[in-house]
Amino acid sequence: MSALHRSKRFVIGLAALAGIVGASCYAAPEPKDAAPTGPGPAPLRRLSNTEYLNALHDTFPALAPVLPILPADALVAGFENAAEAQEPSDVRIARYEAIANLYAEGATQDTAAVVALTGCADITTAGTQSACASTFIDTMGARLFRRPVSAAEHDRFTLRFQAFQAAVDFEGAVRLTLSAMLQSPQFLYRPEAVPRDRANGAVVAVEAYAMASRLSFFLWESVPDQTLLDAAAKNELSTVAQIRDQATRMLADDRARRVFWSFHRQWLGLDRILGDEHGVRTPEVDPSWSTATQASVSKESQLFVENVLMGGGSFRDLLLSRRAFLDTEMARLYGVPLPTDAAPWSEVALPETERAGLLTRASFLAALSHRGATSPPIRGNSLQLRVLCKVPMSPPANADLSQPMAAPGSGPQTNRVLFETRTASSTCQTCHVNLNGFGFGFESYDAAAHFQRMDNGIAVDATGAIHGTDVNAKFDGAVDLSERLSKSTDVHQCATSQWVRYAFGRETTDAEAKLVTDLSKSFFTSGGDVRALLADIVTAPSFRLRRVEEN
Amino acid sequence: MRRRQLLKALGLGALASVLPRGRIARADEVAFPSRIVFFVTPHGHIPKGWNIDIPGASANAYAERSLVEMSEANFSEGLRPFYAYRDRMLAIEGLSHTSVLADIAEIGRTTGDANNHSVSVAGLLTGSRALQRSGSPCSGGIRSIDQEIAARTSAPGRFGSRVYGFDYVPNQTVAPFSFLGAGQATPSVADPQTAFADLMGFVKPSTTGPLSREQTIATLRPSVLDTAAREYELLAPQLGAEGKRKLDAHRALVRDLELGLGTGLTAKCDPSFDANGHQVVQFMRLIKLAFSCDLTRVATFVCPVPETTELGYPADATMHGTYAHGSIENATACGAPYTLTAERAMIDLDKWHAAHLMELLNGLDSILEGSGTVLDHTVVVWLTELGTPTHQHHDAPVVMIGGCNGAFQTGRYVRYPRNLPNPMKGFPLTGPAHNRLHVSLLKAMGQPDTRFGMANATAADGTTLSFQGPLRELHKAV
């Protein structure tokens, strides 16, 4: 059975055709093949689009060329870095070529730029140019390939450099050689050297430079810095203590904000609001909503996640903190006054009783709404799928997915009552007892995430019920729900499993199940200390060790 | 002189517009390559606004009607926009997305995402079981028909295909339709300017006299690609099997680009582009440009669902949420009530799509090629995600326009009987599986395949349904 088919799958919607009463709403994990103990597979990973663009930015910080759009990374369970889905395409290769040429052109735009790029003080004579070419290939190659250039690589690129120089000139050769390096697999992929004298399948330590890349692409979503490469050169990335020290250093670096945002953006869909379907809200919901609002909504979440975690905050703070960074548009949405002299994206505290962390912010609430109305089942479904890692079944084929409307003559009703009526049958309740249980708790926020006490002229009822977790209880409103979920071991287990998946670029194996459980216990005990969790992940055997693979 | 122009010169213009087309090129005529366009639209057609009656024919047997002899008024509302092309048109009623039905039935026996939209999107161009990944919408399980044809018709200096268009987002799932392989959506370009730049990337700058430094550097692009490709060749053998496969695939594409740049543009075409007007129209122009320059022979375009206001409907409505499910009397979906407004809205949507498709047809028919036009050597296939907007898969009308070098007997409305059992228990009888249309399209593109996607499936009553062989009726001689 292939790895793909070993994965858990949705339980289906078709069951409804035969009557699903009594059926589980969640996919039962399929029995996996007996996996070998030790580290799971280490598939070849391509740089995700985010990693690729960060790597270019960090290597050429002075350049900011206008780039063509890369084809989107294929999503697996919401994540953009799944190795199994990183197939090349003609469009991607064309974009890599165009982008390599743009950076190579920018980095060599004049003699001063070439001098700066190569670090060669003198490039005026044939002799100095030859020496400079050799240095350039070694230094630029080491930065882009994240390890010393091999002698064979040095010779190959030198031959090409000389041919390019003969066809154009020295500076042109720098430009063309750089472009070739930027399109080479040593840059675009993360091949890991393995000892040639070990048998296929043998477990070995991840090679030092590969370890530097593993750390930097996970914790910074970019290339290693010189400190990491120096540590690799001295073989100081092998013990748990050495790796933990590096991780601690890296997580204190500003580049760590990238992983904090990227992970939560992908896990919780915090950029989903940017989709075209959210460009509009009906006038009744929000006459001022515009495409600028979409961007502000996503930015607000980004600043929240980055500042909370960079400031030493925890996963629980992400669920509970009232800190917010608002521009005037977000202040309007949240009904919060900004100081008149406030700079854009000023920090304010949100009203204690109205909002808490991410589950009460617009990037979650509005992105899971229709343009004219909220959908409690969609909000409830997303919470279960993302925050509790419960893969739900599809709606039955004959489910009515349209917006429920009050029957003529029945008088005004709340959205909640309309959905209660729509999903009242025992068949619907099989799943909707959970979906509505969570979803109704968000009814204090309309489709544009405004806080509302009245819906359709009737007082909002935002009571709900948590089912299927270790913190099952009735609750009142999303702030209460957030507080309860922040105390859930299930929620911490889910977050941990997603972090591990993100770190490895693949699903975990059966043999790694205990690792995830142990990590999540520590994560819960630490009060949701994200930094500690990431340090635990990078020092785990699956991150430090790999198998020898022959083809 | 084009045949049509010749006839017009002879005073036979009226006849010229109705001559059955699509004959094989005369023996003394240069053969022109066959091209194919997949024009894919979300939802489906409204039978009431699309079907054409075949007087006197039994619904239980295959039947057809000549479109050439029909008056414009007798055309159905949905097909009327194509009246001018009725001689080069095949309208096909009664095909079924049976592989999708079989997949949904199979998901019912196992697990997976069975959302009607997701499975349709995964199955329309693949005719195969969808790939299921935990926590993700399902996606195509094999290389889709457009990419299969692309892989076989690509050549140095010519893209295998161009895939353009927009993500269709019902229930916030992404729907690409075209797949390079299992779970691998073919990258689609949604910005016409980028798409134009891609096409022109293959066009060599015209130069006279010595090259400037920048031009010299530009001529070395293939050499840079060769440098990179060599690195893939050397690194791949050092990796495990899956890593090697990935790098080999990457290297092959780098080589393709290298060869493409080295070949340059040879066709006598006009590489200009009018970037005005509706984005859909711009893409129709780009497909025309790509075909006229022979930069590709396969194009796939996924049409967006327009905002309701574009069709004159209220801003707070959506085509999907407000209208689609209630658009067919006695066959609504998701419990939505049938309304005349919903029915009208979906017919108007059909006409909106047709009007944009006409831009492509007119464009292709304006390029002379031999004694005909590029449209005479092309087949434009309009496929819909679902059979109707009400989530059914068993009755999916298809429009094909273009001569395609005589591969099809055009000028007809063709109706298949629905007399095959359905893979889903309690669901209506179906016509032939759309997999067989894909076989017919492969045949039209000169490919000998006898099957595409699923070879067969099991009906709910245990009958084995064969999906093999082309739809002979489309090809048969008069």
DSSP codes of every residue in B96-136:
B-HHHHHHHHHHHHS-S---HHHHHHHHTTT-SPPB--TTS
Residues facing B417 on adjacent strands: none
Residue B321's pLDDT band, with cuts at 50, 70 and 90, is confident
Contact A88 B249 (CB under 8 A): yes
The pLDDT of residue B324:
87
The mean pLDDT value for A477-499 works out to 98
Restricting to A residues 353-382, those with a Cβ less than 8 Å away from any Cβ of B are 370-372
- In 3D space, the residue among A249, A234, A243 whose CA is nearest the CA of residue A148 turns out to be A234
Whether the pLDDT of residue B210 is over 80: the answer is yes
* Tokens 């590029």 belong to residue: B374
CA distance B473 to A476: 64
Question: Domain segments of chain B: what residues?
Answer: 3-190+269-475, 204-263
Mutation target among A401, A425, A494 for the B interface, most CBs of B within 10 A: A401
Q: What are the tens digits of pLDDT across the range B243-277?
A: 999 999 999 999 988 988 766 555 557 778 899 99
Model ipTM value: 0.91
Whether the pLDDT of residue B2 is over 50: the answer is no
Chain A residues with CB under 8 Å of B188 CB are: 71
Q: Enter the DSSP assignment of A369.
A: B
Q: What is this structure's pTM?
A: 0.88
Strands B89-93 and B412-415: parallel
Cβ atoms of A451 and A445 within 8 Å: the answer is yes
**Which stretch of A317-321, A405-409, B285-289, B308-312 has the lowest confidence by average pLDDT?**
A405-409
Whether the pLDDT of residue A14 is over 50: the answer is no
- Mapped onto helix, strand or coil, the DSSP state of residue B356 is helix
Cβ atoms of B99 and B454 within 8 Å: the answer is yes
Q: How far is B133 from chain A (nearest CA, A)?
A: 6
Helix (H) or strand (E) holding A454: strand A454-455
The pLDDT of residue A30:
53
B23 class by beta-carbon count within 10 Å (0-12 exposed, 13-18 middle, 19+ buried) = middle
Residues facing B383 on adjacent strands: B40
CATH code: domain B3-190+269-475 is 3.40.720
* Tokens 């949701």 belong to residue: A528
Q: Is the dihedral of CA A216, A221, A224, A228 positive or negative?
A: negative
Q: What are the tens digits of pLDDT across the range B221-230?
A: 999 999 999 9
CA distance B101 to B477: 32
Chain A residues with CB under 8 Å of B322 CB are: 402
Q: Which of A156, A167, A402 sits opposite B334 (nearest CB)?
A: A402
Chain B residues with CB under 8 Å of A188 CB are: 250
- In 3D space, the residue among B235, B292, B300, B305 whose CA is nearest the CA of residue B265 turns out to be B292
- Mapped onto helix, strand or coil, the DSSP state of residue A458 is strand
Strand blocks (E) in B324-397 = 368-369, 372-373, 378-384
CA B80 to chain centre: 20
The pLDDT of residue B173:
53
Restricting to A residues 272-291, those with a Cβ less than 8 Å away from any Cβ of B are 272, 275-277, 280, 282-284
- Helix, strand, coil shares of chain A as percentages rounded to 5? 50, 5, 40
The pLDDT of residue B158:
83
CA distance A208 to A242: 11
Residues facing B400 on adjacent strands: B90, B381
CA distance B114 to B130: 10
The count of residues in chain B is 478
Nearest CA in chain A to B427: A17
Q: What are the tens digits of pLDDT across the range B16-39?
A: 344 444 334 444 455 899 999 999
Contact A10 B333 (CB under 8 A): no
Chain A residues with CB under 8 Å of B136 CB are: 75-78
Whether the pLDDT of residue A110 is over 60: the answer is yes
Q: What are the tens digits of pLDDT across the range B3-16?
A: 333 333 333 333 33
Whether the pLDDT of residue B51 is over 70: the answer is yes
Strand blocks (E) in A229-315 = none
* Tokens 């299992």 belong to residue: B182
Contact A549 B240 (CB under 8 A): yes
For the residues of B407-421, what is the DSSP string, one character each? TS--SEEEE----B-
Chain A residues with CB under 8 Å of B316 CB are: 282-284, 371-372
The pLDDT of residue A276:
81
- In 3D space, the residue among B34, B36, B57, B16 whose CA is nearest the CA of residue B413 turns out to be B57
What is the pLDDT of chain A when averaged over all its residues?
91
Strands B184-185 and B372-373: unpaired
The mean pLDDT value for A234-238 works out to 97
Restricting to A residues 52-71, those with a Cβ less than 8 Å away from any Cβ of B are 68-69, 71
**B337 at A interface, C-beta within 8 A:** no
CA distance B244 to A44: 9
Mutation target among A394, A494, A507 for the B interface, most CBs of B within 10 A: A394
Question: Which residues contact residue B430 at a Cβ distance below 8 angstroms, ignoring those fewer than 6 apart?
Answer: B96, B98, B101, B394, B395, B418, B420, B421, B422
Phi-psi region of B21 (alpha: psi -120 to 50; beta: other; left: phi over 0): beta
The pLDDT of residue A215:
98
The pLDDT of residue A28:
53
Chain B residues with CB under 8 Å of A391 CB are: 134-135
Contact B114 A12 (CB under 8 A): yes
Q: Which of B160, B171, B321 sits opposite A403 (nearest CB)?
A: B321
Whether the pLDDT of residue A222 is over 90: the answer is yes
Residue A498's pLDDT band, with cuts at 50, 70 and 90, is very high
For the residues of B254-294, what is the DSSP string, one character each? HHHHHHHHHH---S---------S-HHHHHHHHHHHHHHTT
Whether the pLDDT of residue B370 is over 60: the answer is yes
Restricting to A residues 239-278, those with a Cβ less than 8 Å away from any Cβ of B are 272, 275-277
CA distance B403 to B90: 10
The pLDDT of residue B409:
96
CA distance A61 to A539: 30
Contact A89 B187 (CB under 8 A): yes
Stronger pLDDT, A322 or B138, i.e. the higher one: A322
CB atoms within 10 A of CB A503: 22
- In 3D space, the residue among B166, B161, B133 whose CA is nearest the CA of residue B145 turns out to be B161
